Amino acid sequence: MEYSKDLSIIVPLYNEEDSLGELLAWIRSVTEAAGYDYEVIFVDDGSTDGSWARIKELGEGDDRIKGISFRRNYGKSAALYHGFAKAEGRVVVTMDADLQDSPEEIPEMYRMIVEDGYDVVSGWKQHRQDNKVTKNLPSKLYNATARKITGIKLHDMNCGLKAYKNEVVKNIEVYGEMHRYIPYLAKNAGYDKITEKPVKHQKRKFGKSKFGMERFVNGFLDLLSLWFLSVFGKKPMHFFGFSGLLMFLVGFVMTVWIIVAKLVHQSKGVVYRAVTDQPLFYLALVAVMMGVILFLAGFICEMISRNSQERNQYNIKETMD
């Protein structure tokens, strides 16, 4: 496949006016020294400072500098989605605008995609320059959980500095807060040649981080959602139906136990409490009801899935007639 550029660099940003000039100069020095035909796509995610005016100023007279400006803040996933749609390079690199990601890592990541044949190369900030309590320790726990659930052995799933084959970013959909899990989205789309590269991590020079501690909780919930959709998205009855049958079976067994116990006690002339006076009866009733509800939920989800426009959407590697 032919591409109009060697390299597309996508920079999502929010209120990073002070760092943009230095970042672009740094990118230019690296990419021009390497001889790339490149483009830089700044995606302004509804900044309230002068970021957009600065982008337009930097792009004057240089058609390699492109920009997208949102009317309000939609989040990093939305910024990457539109950046990916606009990218024309053979290799697509994403990096943050806060000068903590080094453009000097780009040539090696580009080589790993083009020469080594990887689909995704993710940065690994081995020596983070963040607060150890609020960033480093939660990040390690978060990444350990992500490795366990996704099966992708990356030390830093959320690193903003990543490189992709162009076809990867054109065949995945980034939405919500799923920018953290683009390698997992790529894997689910059939692009499983994923590796990582240790990268330099600089201290923030201007402003402050736009992400708080809540991102780790939200990230974990997003990961569970993504895992569930990837495993059961096209076969929801396998989950809800099985869960419903299991709950129904538990309730049925408890009900039989109560009835048999009462009959045995009555046959021996032993006084036995009324069935409706036993807590186990109500637990059995709840289990049966939950089983029916889950089973019906499976049917409804299955009907929705069968009517989805994406039910037969598959990524084809190549064909031969």
pTM to 2 decimal places: 0.72
213 pLDDT above the threshold of 60: no
Highest mean pLDDT among 120-129, 133-142, 211-220, 248-257: 248-257
The answer to whether residue 97 is domain-embedded is yes
Average pLDDT, integer, range 255-283: 82
Domain end marker among 232, 252, 274:
232
Q: Are residues 100 and 169 in the same domain?
A: yes
Average pLDDT, integer, range 144-172: 88
Cα 116–27–78 angle (5° rounding)? Answer: 80
Distances (CA, A) of 104 to 58, 65, 254, 310: 20, 19, 65, 40
Q: Is 5 helix (H, G, I), strand (E, B) or coil?
A: strand
Q: Are residues 118 and 262 in the same domain?
A: no
Average pLDDT, integer, range 21-30: 96
122 pLDDT above the threshold of 60: yes
Q: Are residues 78 and 95 in the same domain?
A: yes
Q: Which two tokens stand for residue 17?
A: 């006016």
The answer to whether residue 319 is domain-embedded is no
Return all residues near 174 (Cβ < 8 A) that are at least 6 apart: 77, 80, 81, 84, 182, 185
pLDDT of amino acid 96: 92
The answer to whether residue 312 is domain-embedded is no
pLDDT band at 132; cut points 50, 70, 90: low
The answer to whether residue 320 is domain-embedded is no
The domain in which residue 97 lies consists of: 5-232
